[in-house]
Amino acid sequence: MRTVDHGYMPGLDGLRALAVFAVIFYHLNLSWAPGGLLGVTLFFVLSGYLITNILLKQWESTGTIDLKDFWLRRARRLLPAVFVMLAGVMVWMLLFAPERLAALKQEALAAVFYISNWYLIFHQVSYFESFGPPSPLGHLWSLAVEEQFYLLWPLLLGLGLRWIRQRKWLAVGTIALTFASAAAMALIYSPGQDPSRVYYGTDTRAFSLLVGAALAMVWPSGKMTGELTGSKKLLLDGTGALGLLAVLLMILKTNQYQPFLYQGGLLLFSIAAAVLVAVLAHPASSLGRFFSWGPWRWLGECSYGIYLWHYPVIILTNPAVNTGGVDLSRTFWQIGLSIILAVLSRHFIEDPIRYGRRKRGRRRVPALQWWQKPLGVGAKMSLGILLMVLLLFVTPNGGTGISAKAIAQNHETTEQAQGQAQEQAQNQNQAQSQTQTQNQDEQGTQAQGAEQEDNKANGEAIGTEQENEITIIGDSVMINVTPVLQEQFKGIVIDAQLGRQMYQAPEVIAGLREEGKLGKTVVIQLGNNGPFSEKQLKETLDTLPGSTEILLVNTRVPKPWEGEVNETLNKVAQSYPGARLIDWHTVSKGHNDYFYKDGVHLTQTGVEAYGEMLVKALAVGENDY
Burial class, 136, CB count within 10 angstroms (exposed 0-12 / middle 13-18 / buried 19+): buried
Active-site residue flag, 598: yes
Number of H helices, E strands in the chain: 28, 5
Separation between Cα atoms, residue 271 and residue 420, nearest integer Å: 56
* Residue positions counted in the chain: 625
Q: What three-state secondary structure class fits 522?
A: strand
Active-site residue flag, 181: no
First to last CA, the chain: 63
**Inter-residue contact 300 to 16 (CB < 8 Å):** yes
**Inter-residue contact 226 to 248 (CB < 8 Å):** no
**Inter-residue contact 349 to 84 (CB < 8 Å):** yes
- As a dihedral over the C-alpha atoms of residue 340, residue 342, residue 347, residue 352, rounded to 10 degrees, the angle is 160
Separation between Cα atoms, residue 531 and residue 508, nearest integer Å: 18
* Strand residue runs (E) in 382-427: none
| Active-site position among 27, 310, 411, 601 | 601
Q: What three-state secondary structure class fits 556?
A: coil
> Given phi > 0 = left and psi -120 to 50 = alpha, else beta, which region is 428?
alpha
Burial class, 401, CB count within 10 angstroms (exposed 0-12 / middle 13-18 / buried 19+): buried
Amino acid, res. 572 = V
**Inter-residue contact 243 to 272 (CB < 8 Å):** yes
| Active-site position among 476, 495, 547, 585 | 476
Active-site residue flag, 601: yes
> Residue 397: which H helix or E strand, with range?
none
User: How distant, in Å, are the alpha carbons of 489, 501, 521, 576, 621 from that of 518?
Assistant: 15, 19, 8, 19, 20
Between strands 493-496 and 470-474, the pairing is parallel
- As a dihedral over the C-alpha atoms of residue 28, residue 32, residue 34, residue 38, rounded to 10 degrees, the angle is -90
**Inter-residue contact 539 to 506 (CB < 8 Å):** yes
**Inter-residue contact 45 to 270 (CB < 8 Å):** yes
Helices of type H across 349-404: 351-355, 377-389
User: How distant, in Å, are the alpha carbons of 74, 521, 605 from that of 617?
Assistant: 60, 11, 19
233 Cβ neighbours under 8 A, 6+ residues apart: 284, 286
Nearest one of 108, 104, 100, 116 to 83, comparing CA atoms: 108
Bridge partners for 552 per DSSP: 524, 581
> Residue 266: which H helix or E strand, with range?
helix 266-281
What amino acid positions are annotated as catalytic residues? Answer: 476, 598, 601
